[in-house]
Structures are given as structure tokens and as C-alpha cells.
Amino acid sequence: MTFADITVVPVATERKAAYLDFSKRMAEVYRDHGAISVVDYWQSSESADQSDFHAEGASYESGELRSIAELAGASAAESVVVTVTTWPSRETRERGTAAVTRDPRVTETLDEDPVFDGGRVIADSFEIAMSVQQSE
């Protein structure tokens, strides 16, 4: 069964190019260790109104609907990046992430100027329970 790791992290909006460069390098490592794909979603500069995600007529108190940026603790100068790393199976993910953490291309980044605060990363793993895609 397909498996996915999902991370959410605030990144200084002005560091977008540096973040994407770093992420592309890391995506190559993950792919080399079995990931099917790595996709970054950069928060739109025009955040959606939270009511857009609920049925018309639903009533919520002011401030009750929270955004991912709010949940991630992003400031006005930050954008949220959601990264989805897809694996063919949980077993491949377990082997792959263990290898990634030891890969020199990853450990060498510990000496670089960080493009985000690793302590603010929100992450977890998910089994893909349902997927609907448009046919070509």
C-alpha cells in the first residue's frame, strides 16, 4: 500500500529560492533511497478564506476556523511549505528514511546555513486511504 510522509514548516518568504534549492537536493536523496515522488506545496501569497473549505450556510464563530499557517505558527513574513513524500510501501519508507538519515548528502547539510528552523517542522506518516484522480 502506498505510504506518504507529510511535513509542514514555516519558511521566510524571502528565502523561497534557497529553500527550493535545498529541497530539490534532498528530494534527489529521497528518490535515490526509494521514494516515488517528493512534492513541495508553497503557500499561495493570497491565502484562502477558511470559509471556502466549508459548506455554504455553515456557521462558525469568528476565529474558530484556523489556517495551516496559523497552526504552524507562521509569521506574516513566512510562507508555509507542505511537502508530500510518497513511497511504494511502508517497508520501503522505513528502509529509505533510515538510509537518508545516514546519507552524506544529508549529513553534510548540518554545516550549512539552515533555510528553515528544523524545530518547527510538523511531520507524520500516512497510509493513503483513498485517491481520486482525473483520467487522461
CATH number of the CATH domain containing 21 = 3.30.70.100
Q: Is the pLDDT of residue 22 over 70?
A: yes
Classify residue 62: in a domain, yes or no: no
What range does the domain containing 8 cover?
3-45+67-127
- Among the residue ranges 8-12, 15-19, 53-57, 83-87, the one predicted with the least confidence is 53-57
Classify residue 51: in a domain, yes or no: no
- Among the residue ranges 9-23, 45-59, 103-117, the one predicted with the least confidence is 45-59
Classify residue 105: in a domain, yes or no: yes
Model pLDDT, residue 62: 67
- Specify the pTM: 0.88
The count of domains in the chain is: 1
- 50 band by pLDDT with thresholds 50, 70 and 90: low
Residue 91, φ and ψ in degrees, nearest 5: -60, -45
